[in-house]
Every structure is written in C-alpha cells, then in structure tokens.
Amino acid sequence: MESVQTPSPHTPSSVGDRVRAQRAFFATGKTKDVNFRLEQLKRLKHAILDYRDRIVEAVGADLRRPEFEAYFEIASIAEVNTAIKHLKSWAKPKRVSTSLDQFPSRARIHPEPLGVVLIVAPWNYPFQLTMSPLVGAIAAGNCAVLKPSEIAPHTAAVVSDLIRSTFPPEYVTAIEGGVETSQSLLEQKFDKIFFTGGTRIGQIVMEAAAKHLTPVTLELGGKSPCIVDADVKLDVAVKRIVWGKFINAGQTCVAPDYLLVDRRVKPQLLEAVRQQVREFFGDDPAKSPDFCRMVSDRHFDRVASLLDNRGNAEIVVGGQCDRSDRYIAPTVLDNVSWDDPVMQDEIFGPILPVLEYDSLDDAIDRVASRPKPLALYVFSNNKPFQNRVLRETSSGGACVNDTVMHLAVSDLPFGGVGDSGMGSYHGKASFDTFSHFKSVLNKGLWFDLNWRYAPYHQWQLSLLKRIIG
C-alpha cells in the first residue's frame, strides 16, 4: 500500500464549521425518523462490505496484521446487523405503570437522540473501534464526527474515504489529523463524547468535556488479570490464554495482562505455554505470517524497555526484539515481582508476566488491591472457585475459561469500571449510550381528583399518609 501523508491540522474554526453544519442538519429532525436511521445503517453495512479488501490491506499496512486477524475489523458488521434487526423495538416508547393517585394518566419513556456526538477512535483496532460506536450513534438518531487515529494512518484514510462516499458531511463526517486536530475537536461543544484509548488521554478528554458539561463514555484499559486454578484442563486453558494474549501482538485492550497461577501447576503451565507459542508461531515467530508488529517506534520502545528493565524476571520463551522491524517476540516472563516495571502499567504488547499464588484468598486480595481492570479471566473446573472470583473482584467484564471472546457476544454490554472506564456499548447498550431517555407523564383532563389542592383538610393529610405508606 502507498505511504499515507498525515493530513494538515484542522483549525478550531474549520472544525467548528463542521460541527455547526451538523447541528443545523440535526435541527431539521430528519435523523429522528427511524426509517431514515435504518436506511443509513444499511448504507453503512454495504459500504463496509464494499471496502472490506481495502480495510484488510490498510490494517495490514499499519500493524502488519495477518489477514485472518485483519478480518476482526469487519466484525462491526455484526453490530450493524443487530441494530437493523432490533432498532424499531429499541426506539419504541416503553410504557410504565402509574399509581392510583395519578389517575387518569399514562407514563412512557421515550428514547431520543442526544444531538451531535464525537467518536474518538484508537489505533489498535482502528476500523472496528471506529465503526462499532458509530452504529450506536446512527441507530439512536444522532449526527456524528469521527476522529480516526493518526497512529494508524492507512486505516484512517480508508475510514475517511468510506464515510465521505457514504454520508453527507453534515450528517456523518470523519476528520483526520494529529494532536492539534484532537485539541480543536475537544474545544467544541458536543452532546456526547465517546473515547476509546488510554487512561491518560481519557483524563484529558473528560477534563475537556467537563467544561461543556458534555457526557462521556470512556473505554480505557488496565492490567486485566488471568487467574488459573489447579483444577483446570491445562492444554485448553493455555491455548486460549496464548491466543488471547498474542493476537495483534498483545495490542488489545482486553488481552490478559498477567497470569496469576496456582503454584502447584505453574511448572506444567509454563511448559505448556512454551509449546503453544511454538505451535502457533513456529521456532522463529519473526518469520511467522501470523504474528503482528508494534504499531510505531514509540510503542516499540516503551514495551521493549520492560524487557530491558525486567529485574530478576526470567524469560521462559521469546525476548527477542528488532526495532527496525518493530518486532517483539511473544514473550513469557517467570519469577516476576509485583513491584517490577512490567507490573506497574498496562503492557499493551506481547509480554506475559507469570506470578503465582498459594491460596485463592491471596489471589483475590492481589487483584482487588489494584485498579479495576477492563477484563478479568478465570480458568477453573470448580464452580465455587469461579463464583468466588467473580463475586469478590470488580472488573468491566469477565470471562470464565476463555479470553477476549466475551466481546463477540453483542447482547453483552462492553465497558469499564473505575480506572478502566465508564459507560458501555455493543448491541442495545450502544443505542442506550447515544440516547436520552425522556420520561413523559400524560394526564387526562376529563376527570380530576381533588386530593392535592389547597385549602388542605385532615382527610387529605390522612390520604397522603396512606399513599406514602
């Protein structure tokens, strides 16, 4: 694929013009028509299918993603299909009951679009994580401004082309650019900001949104733990752990960030991990067509430094780095300390630290004492073990006896908690995220109870006390 030049930064004035154009279009009321929304979702679906080869090529250029993993980006089609299938039901006002003192009345909850929303996408799944929230924004009846990541420039260019050829800019537009463009966007007043990325930038987004009292959804990350019990089918567990950790070279927000393994099975697990890495990627993963690369020199340097400063940790497998190729081998570390640099922040790369525990109490205490992660994984055949981990830890989502795959269930809301984010999306949760639910009470004029009007009498007070209980 040809090299992509970084677009020149947009000024606050030019960005503001686009936002004002969208506000004018939203004011026409056209986006509130459910049939209009359905038509736009179908247009988006057809566009994704038409661009599928370009999307796969672009992701390959940005991340050296193998074609199989590149097709994960097309998974946003499932979100579109779900929205098309259920939109009329989601958008229908929901009736709620009223009490006798409200007679005669009816009460309904009306989902309404928020207005003009901003979607700031990350670089690690640069197409999917732009399109999936856009599906919710369109389904809920909003106008949308997309900011694809400049760190994945080939995919950003494809996103912009797709959006430009599918929607008028006063309805949906994509704005490319770097930090200055992002700053210009954050100076504008939006009705919602949806951000996917790291915690530090998430704090900047939230601070900017607060100036306009703009609600935010933050999809962040964190050190997602993977707890492995002694009572487990080790070969299947290891296969699922190694896959979930090393897809996209570990550049996945819900990748297992570290293993916390029962001491009794750690030696067998480490040997199984070593064999599984070899089975997936061969004796030299640098030559494997199925292993990704780091997205940039800066990200390579950050992750490689964790190996350079690993302290007493031992490399079980991997450890090789090649900056000229942005290659870091799938690496597993043993004898890791909780105080090592690799255990301080989210790794977001192909390094898997392994720690051990003696009792489940110890494992739960360790996890619970750290910031709440975006995902938590537990591998065990023991139901009470599974249930206790789920009950006594907090995380954005969780998976029992698998990794990452909970994201593929569209009816499961996906989002963080605490340091790993706020709000959720996928399926109906996406529609809800970009909607305001307006409560409406409708009273009839043909009959009027006098229980609430002055001058007040004792019987009214007695009645009020009975109503309140």
Catalogue the active-site residues: 219, 253
Closest listed residue to residue 131, CA positions, set 173, 58, 53, 76: 76
330-360: burial string, b at 16+ Cβ within 10 Å, e else: bbbbbebeeebbbbebbbbbbbbbbbbbeeb
Instruction: Give the tokens for residue 46.
Output: 């057809």
Residues with Cβ within 8 Å of 110's Cβ and at least 6 positions away in sequence, in order, are 93, 437, 438, 439, 440
Backbone angles phi, psi at 5, to 5 degrees: -85, 140
- Contact in structure between 270 and 302 (CB atoms under 8 Å): no
Closest listed residue to residue 259, CA positions, set 224, 235, 211, 222: 224
Report d(CA 9, CA 175) in Å as an integer.
9
**Strand order across the 314-317 sheet:** 314-317, 331-334, 351-357, 258-262, 225-228, 375-379, 397-400
Q: Which amino acid is at 457?
A: H
Radius of gyration of the chain (CA): 25
User: Could you tell me where the DSSP H helices lie in 142-228?
Assistant: 153-166, 179-186, 199-210
Distance of CA 211 to the CA centre of its chain: 24
Report CA torsion sign: 428, 68, 56, 377: positive
Report d(CA 430, CA 428) in Å as an integer.
5
Q: Which amino acid is at 164?
A: R
